[in-house]
């Protein structure tokens, strides 16, 4: 498999596995086995991995959305949802300044075609990171649950695609559904927390050498440490609480693995 260059299990393949509901303890067991087989850090992005596949735009896109990372309006009904992740180039280099334009149906499955409710764009920050705060989109006839997005690195073509939720009954009947576009989703205290990493067709240039992961900000979190459930660490100036006991490893930093760490 392209995802397993060393015969082990990479973070990305683990996240894909998590998306099809493999229990976290089993994943951690796989990590331990992978570590035993190789001492190389688990990469955050896989060299040679496929680009994020495109999908049709659909009939509900509107240009000129407002720039914002939260699509929530006061009193907006629905289950709160955060989507976070990174945007990489094909050389696994994190891409800063990538335009991400999201649009989605509301809790009842309706798109706002007169205004900009549940529409917004943002730019990836240093390290290629993004976070979107919104609600879980409702269902509408003919489609499974999804979020639309356009992604464009500076001076590069626009990728139009859609993100999907695991475990949705309609995933098996929606002809547009693509498992490569599944987010990793877990239930959090205030709603759901999803993660997804984009890979855009941007080759690594001479000034942007490939990197296995974004720069590590300071904090008390450390790899190769046994953290019990409930333990608190800091990472990048943010405090996180451990949700499930595990031994940490490079590539599984708290902001990368919402299944294991929750912001407090």
Contact positions vs Fe ion (CB under 5 A): 58
* Of 162 and 211, CB closest to Fe ion: 162
From the CB of 114, what's the least distance to Fe ion, in Å? 17
* Of 58 and 91, CB closest to Fe ion: 58
CA-CA-CA-CA torsion for 16, 56, 160, 255, nearest 10 degrees?
A: -30
Q: Do residues 42 and 6 touch, judged by C-beta distance below 8 A? A: no
From the CB of 208, what's the least distance to Fe ion, in Å? 34
Q: Is 3 left (phi over 0), alpha (psi -120 to 50) or beta?
A: alpha
From the CB of 109, what's the least distance to Fe ion, in Å? 9
Q: Which of 38, 63, 157 minimizes the C-alpha distance to 116?
A: 63
From the CB of 143, what's the least distance to Fe ion, in Å? 6
From the CB of 104, what's the least distance to Fe ion, in Å? 7
Q: How far apart are CA 6 and CA 63, in angstroms?
A: 43
Give the distance from CA 211 to its chain's centroid. 18
Q: Which two tokens stand for residue 25?
A: 């303890």
Q: Do residues 122 and 231 touch, judged by C-beta distance below 8 A? A: no
* Of 60 and 123, CB closest to Fe ion: 60
Sole residue written with tokens 């929606």: 174
From the CB of 147, what's the least distance to Fe ion, in Å? 8
Question: How many Cβ atoms sit within 10 Å of the Cβ of residue 73?
Answer: 10
* Of 102 and 235, CB closest to Fe ion: 102
Strands (DSSP E) contained in 124-204 are 129-135, 146-152, 159-164, 184-188, 191-195, 198-199
* Of 58 and 138, CB closest to Fe ion: 58
* Of 58 and 219, CB closest to Fe ion: 58
């Amino acid at each position: 498999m392209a995802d397993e260059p060393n015969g082990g299990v990479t973070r990305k393949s683990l996240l894909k596995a998590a998306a099809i509901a493999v229990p976290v303890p089993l994943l951690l067991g796989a990590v331990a086995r992978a570590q035993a087989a190789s001492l190389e850090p688990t990469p955050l992005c896989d060299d040679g991995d496929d680009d994020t596949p495109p999908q049709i735009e659909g009939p509900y896109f509107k240009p000129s959305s407002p720039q914002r990372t939260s699509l929530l309006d006061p009193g907006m009904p629905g289950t709160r949802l955060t989507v976070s992740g990174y945007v990489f180039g094909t050389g696994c280099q994190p891409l800063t300044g990538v335009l991400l334009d999201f649009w989605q149906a509301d809790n009842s499955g309706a798109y706002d075609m007169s205004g900009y409710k549940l529409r917004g764009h943002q730019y990836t920050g240093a390290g290629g990171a993004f976070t979107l705060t919104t609600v879980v989109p409702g269902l509408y006839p003919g489609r499974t649950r999804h979020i639309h997005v356009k992604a464009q690195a500076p001076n590069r073509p626009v990728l139009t695609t859609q993100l999907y939720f695991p475990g949705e009954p309609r995933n098996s009947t929606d002809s547009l559904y693509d498992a490569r576009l599944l987010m990793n989703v877990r239930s959090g205290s205030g709603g759901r927390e999803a993660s997804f990493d984009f890979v855009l067709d941007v080759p690594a240039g001479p000034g942007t050498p490939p990197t296995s992961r974004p720069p590590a900000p300071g904090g008390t979190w450390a790899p190769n440490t046994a953290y019990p459930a409930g333990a608190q660490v800091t990472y990048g100036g943010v405090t996180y609480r451990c949700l499930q006991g595990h031994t940490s490893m490079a590539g599984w930093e708290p902001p990368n693995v919402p299944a294991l760490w929750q912001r407090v």
